[in-house]
Structure 1
């Protein structure tokens, strides 16, 4: 299991090289979040508390590892200034069976969207605005 919070871009190919290569892995699932230009968004800034953020994500990743008997798990989330088209986060899971890999990846993505300690500020045609929690993100998390 690896968790990283970083400002630098990441390379999907590099991150997945050797991922889930050990054990009796029969499935790998990956998801990459990309900054969208929705509503004229020109850029976004993500803030976090370094020690707190990594520990919180490590805790939920460990829960996913245990709950779905994953062989491997990778979570990368960026902070700092980002523009539309930038990769903002990545989740990868590896397990013996695909259902576990898919479910664990969805669980991690729902957590990152609604509970991970990040603060996002979006910039667009009407100025800057902090992103508030959304009901649909809370609803998605409630299924777990």
Structure 2
């Protein structure tokens, strides 16, 4: 009897893990699509208006923060309470995915210290966004 109960608990744990991983991947993909469109739009604006390269780092950070928000929002939108751990993982996964994407587009590996600081920023921002989204979510909904 006890063995059967343990098997059910293991299956339930695996199901929760799969659902959580799926939510995070979905959030990262949505945020990645946003990032690609935002970068293309900004590149078009730079070209169309002959802008200087000064605002590029600022816009890059804004795009990253909005991307982390989108990843966390999509990943945690079904949660009844703040999913801080899920937010941290979604933020870190989005930053790592963005780093790989930009490295592929640029044709060379980015700087590892920058990646590490961005991962820290993604984790902290993901936790904060998950907490805020969980607290601001209407109580009657999932």
Q: TM-score, normalised by structure 2?
A: 0.31
The structure whose residues are more often helix, as a share, is 2
Greater strand percent: which structure?
A: 1
TM-score by length of 1: 0.31
